[in-house]
Amino acid sequence: MNTHHIGTPANRKDGREKVTGKAKYAAEYFAPDLVYGFVVNSAIAKGRITGIDLSEAQQLPGVLHIFTHENRPGYTWLDSHYQDEDSPPGSPFRPLYNNQITFSMQPIALVVAESFELARYAGMLVKVTYEEEPQETDFEKNLIHAYEPPNYKSSPPPKPWGNPEEAMAHAPVKLEQAYSHPAEHHNPMEMHAATVIYGQDGKLTVYDKIQGVQNSQKYLSHAFGIPLQDVHVVSEYVGGGFGSGLRPQYQLFLAVLAARELKRSVRLMLTRQQMFSFGHRPKTVQRFALGASQDGKLQALEQNAFAETSRFEDYSEDVVIWPGVLYACDNVKLTHKLVGLDVYTPLDMRAPGGTTGIYALECAIDEMAYQVGMDPMEFRLKNYSEKDYNKDKPFSSKELREAYRQGAARFGWEKRNPAPRSMKEGHQLIGWGVAQGAWEAKQQEAAAKAVLTPEGKLTVSSATADIGTGTYTVMAQIAAETLGLPLEDVTFKLGDSTLPKSPLEGGSWTVSSVGSAVKAVCEQVQEQLLKLAQKLENSHFSNSKREDLTFSGGRLFVTQAPAQSVSLAEVLAQAKGSPLEVEASLKPAKEQQNYSPYAHSATFVEVQVDEDLGTIKVTRIVSAIAGGRIINPKTARSQILGGAVWGIGVALEEHSVMDSRVGRFMTYDLDKYHVPVNADVQQIEVIFVEEHDAIVNPLGAKGLGEIGIVSVAPAIANAVFHATGKRVRELPITLDKLL
């Protein structure tokens, strides 16, 4: 009986459900009284609604009601100051609050009808008149109004250290460059949706697309003034999150509003186009100044980031912490300012701040390496940080050197000809680029419950999510390993607001946080099993402590004397037919505060650029990851592959194009907003280097959801430079910028 699961590439527990269509997503739940909503979005970016004519739409048979700011019930938004778990400082957007328009495609009406098609058709017949006001959505033009927010959503920029001005003035080699990155929109396969089942007693069961059911539950409780226990939020499957489901979005509020008012079950799904009406990675411009010695030692670094936000919330992310994490430099100055625009508030998108900040940093560093005439990998190794300079703390572990060593060997980096345009094959210019990355390995407080039946079947639960990352599987692996059970005897339950408290599934912290809680609760089950075992006649365990025992192969034995063992079945028989039940909550250990926990990456990329056409192909990516203990090499590899694919999108394709004359993102569908397809993805290799970390959390595992993306786009940009000799400092790198 194999009961060792950690480090084993287990198949996804939910794989069969997903591929057979049995897994239900938020818009797939049904009730006999179900009706359908469709949202009408604002045609302007700023101003106010002067009139909404519903008459034509309302006349259609089968249209039940149209909700607007004029007829929304008074009990909504009584608690106007409520902020959800992922809110930036400011005042969150409230659908149908009043007649003010603050961004283009703002939801302004909800049509509810007998069918989706009818609701959508009726939505087209809603006539809205506006009084338009001048809008500002031109980022560059508004840079002069950039401000430091009174409060940062992310950490505030680290305080300067050393003497950056003086060090910069005296540095023999200097570089000053700006890098920019456009807005990007999340495009998970599953569009945002909520199905609200109206119960007989008026209680609601809400199937929401969300990365944290308890966040939606609290949000609804505040928005509608209803007791928490009267709102049950469920999200068993999420068809991709990437941050788009961290905050409750407007489909949730509107669907619940309609269900409560109509006393019926309501389904509201956004269209793909409407997925571009909320939340995006903010456009960011970063100005860098670097100073180095002739032999390539960084002496001074300045990074000034400017990123967009909305008028109503100060959204910020960790764009400027990366020099202090990745480089040993004694003189550093960092600023991060916001540019307020008439757009919806930006929203965390996979490795928020890291994807943008590391992109710009790693391109600037690459330019400096060429300027001092060093191999770009050697330059990075020469300036390798042995501590987190932002916090002046040692890393809990950092095997990035080993990641470089293994990654470079696999890639064949030593065969690289350093000169740009030197590695040509026919019409194809070959470029090899490298970049490094980091992502915080944070542990949050989380709780879990374990129930072990007399038959030895274990169910562990926590209100977390599985956004496609493999949570169901890895949590079951952790639990099964801890109690020495076969994986098929363990079930993990998630995505239900009644389950033990969990943080949002985000920030790459789910394994660290929920996984550690799962381990902790299973250790408490071990304690209970030990107590039962001690009741056995002639027990081997009379003087044992839990720490002395091993749970393996469905047995419990004294580690030092394996002959002294007993089967779990025998132990459980002592429970006289009742299951063991334990709930536990776990906080990060205090000693962690003395360390800085990060996962690290080294990424090597090969591109082929057609000399005549400027087309770019990413032919090879080697991504070497130092991510602590790997719980499931299979799902872990998938995370890194996904990050690499998205890195291709960031570098070469994704671009939410703002037409600042009308204040709207014009790339509002997948025919205009390009993401990598199979033809864009060639060879990707993933390496996990061995990394032992006894501090980061009880599992020694670091999150892998975000580390896979951060260093990919800069490695591609650097490879494109190596191929062509042309530095494109504005993403995405499209062929027009190369010709």
The residues annotated as belonging to the active site are 706
Q: Which of 92, 149, 243, 323 binds ligand MOS (CB under 6 A)?
A: 243
Output the smallest distance, CB 168 to ligand MOS, in A. Answer: 34
Output the smallest distance, CB 506 to ligand MOS, in A. Answer: 3
As to burial, measured by CB atoms within 10 angstroms (0-12 exposed, 13-18 middle, 19+ buried), residue 1 is exposed
Say what angle helices 471-483 and 516-535 make with each other, to 10 degrees. Answer: 30
Output the smallest distance, CB 282 to ligand MOS, in A. Answer: 13
Q: What is the 3-state secondary structure (H, E, C) of 524-571?
A: HHHHHHHHHHHHCCCCCCCCCCHHHEEEECCEEEECCEEEEEEEHHHH
Q: Which of 248, 506, 588, 643 binds ligand MOS (CB under 6 A)?
A: 506
Output the smallest distance, CB 509 to ligand MOS, in A. Answer: 8
Task: For ligand MOS, give the closer residue by CB, 251 or 508.
Answer: 508
Task: For ligand MOS, give the closer residue by CB, 137 or 355.
Answer: 355
Q: Is 352 in the site for ligand MOS (CB under 6 A)?
A: yes
Q: Do residues 732 and 718 touch, judged by C-beta distance below 8 A?
A: no
Q: Is 241 in the site for ligand MOS (CB under 6 A)?
A: yes
Task: For ligand MOS, give the closer residue by CB, 354 or 614.
Answer: 354
From the list 711, 65, 15, the residue with the least C-alpha distance to 361 is: 711
Task: For ligand MOS, give the closer residue by CB, 211 or 502.
Answer: 211
Task: For ligand MOS, give the closer residue by CB, 171 or 246.
Answer: 246
Site string for ligand MOS, 196-215 (x = CB under 6 A): ---------------x----
For the segment 356-395, give every residue that binds ligand MOS (CB under 6 A): none
Output the smallest distance, CB 526 to ligand MOS, in A. Answer: 32
Q: Do residues 724 and 429 touch, judged by C-beta distance below 8 A?
A: yes
Count H helices and E strands in the chain, helices first: 19, 30
Segment near ligand MOS (CB under 6 A), from 156-164, 237-245, 382-390, 528-536? 237-245
Q: Is 495 in the site for ligand MOS (CB under 6 A)?
A: no
Q: Is 185 in the site for ligand MOS (CB under 6 A)?
A: no
Q: Is 440 in the site for ligand MOS (CB under 6 A)?
A: no
Segment near ligand MOS (CB under 6 A), from 114-122, 215-223, 235-243, 274-282? 235-243
Q: How are beta strands 332-340 and 393-394 bridged, if at all?
A: unpaired
DSSP per position, 559-616: TTEEEEEEEHHHHHHTTTTPPEEEEEEE---GGGGGSB-EEEEEEEEEEEEETTT--E
Task: For ligand MOS, give the closer residue by CB, 37 or 507.
Answer: 507
Site string for ligand MOS, 246-265 (x = CB under 6 A): x-------------------
125 CB-near residues (< 8 Å, 6+ apart):
56, 57, 60
Q: Which of 136, 317, 342, 348 binds ligand MOS (CB under 6 A)?
A: 348
Largest CA distance in the chain: 86
What is the phi/psi pair of residue 339, to 5°? -115, 110
Q: Is 507 in the site for ligand MOS (CB under 6 A)?
A: yes
For residue 79, the 8-state DSSP code is S
Q: Is 90 in the site for ligand MOS (CB under 6 A)?
A: no
Q: Which residue has the tokens 């300079």?
A: 389
Cα(686)–Cα(640) distance, rounded to whole angstroms? 7
Say what angle helices 712-724 and 633-652 make with each other, to 10 degrees. Answer: 50
List of residues contacting ligand MOS (CB under 6 A) = 211, 241-243, 246, 348-350, 352, 506-507
